[in-house]
Amino acid sequence: MIKLSQRLLGPVTLACLAATFVLGLWVTPEDRTQKNLVRLLYVHPPIAWVALYVSFGTATIASCLYLWRRTRSMTMDRIAYCAMEVSVVFIILTLITGSIWGRPTWGVWWAWDARLTSTAILGVFALAYLALRRANDDPTLRARRSAVFAILTAVNVPIIHFSVVWWKTLHQGASVLTSTGQLNVHGSMLLAMLLGFVGFTLLFFWLLRERYRLEVKRDARSIATLDEALALRRREGV
């Protein structure tokens, strides 16, 4: 069952993303105010959802599980590391799609808006996490420091989420639900957006799976190289 779901992950992801683009470009109607710019609604919020909550959340949860003694393992450390790498990609895509949307709406490619700025800071923190992992060769020490850093930087996520509520910003509020729980989008637009959320979420897990496999292979090669070096040193000693 697990192997079957893994095999279906790629095709289902591709189908969801394809359906999102077809619905978003050719089926859904224009917006009264934003016209065709509204079609970014099916891409930008789902990418931001993955960047802030799914990928960064996965890295944070895996880091917490590593620090907890009962669940501590290098598997959790690898998941956190790989999820953070994928998160960097989605954070960059979030900023790019947001800038494309903001240029015709706000008149500028970039504004020091609270949500934009805090998202960019989160991207810097994610890059700092990746740099921190390269600063130490001890796997245990590296995993512990990286886990603590990931948990501390996760504090920025709720700041990003509530920034449009706490401060007066250019960025619009919630895209799907209003503060009273009412839907902002309906019909084919809602379907396209939901498919976008599902598609990009599945894309994250597909990328995470492939990146994790590469990390496992790299660790295996490192261990094999170390064993060969130790064996060579022993033969030289004899």
pLDDT tens, 160-177?
Answer: 888 877 777 766 666 665
Tokens, residue 194? 């939901």
Query: What's the pLDDT score for residue 197?
Result: 94
Residues 81, 84, 85, 86, CA torsion sign: positive
Above 70 in pLDDT, residue 232? Answer: no
Q: Can you tell me the distance from the alpha carbon of 150 to that of 128, in angstroms, rounded to the nearest whole number? A: 10
Which of these, 98, 157, 101, 79, lies nearest to 125 by C-alpha position? 157
Give the model confidence (pLDDT) of 113-132 as tens digits: 888 889 999 999 999 999 99
Identify the weakest region by mean pLDDT among 92-106, 144-158, 163-177. Answer: 163-177
pLDDT-based confidence at residue 38 (cuts at 50, 70, 90): confident
CA distance 209 to 194: 23
Q: Residue written as tokens 């948990």? A: 151
Q: Which residues contact residue 59 at a Cβ distance below 8 angstroms, ignoring those fewer than 6 apart?
A: 79, 80, 81, 83, 84, 87, 129, 150
pLDDT of 181 above 60:
no
Task: Residue 125: count other Cβ atoms within 10 Å of its Cβ.
Answer: 21
pLDDT for 204 beyond 80: yes
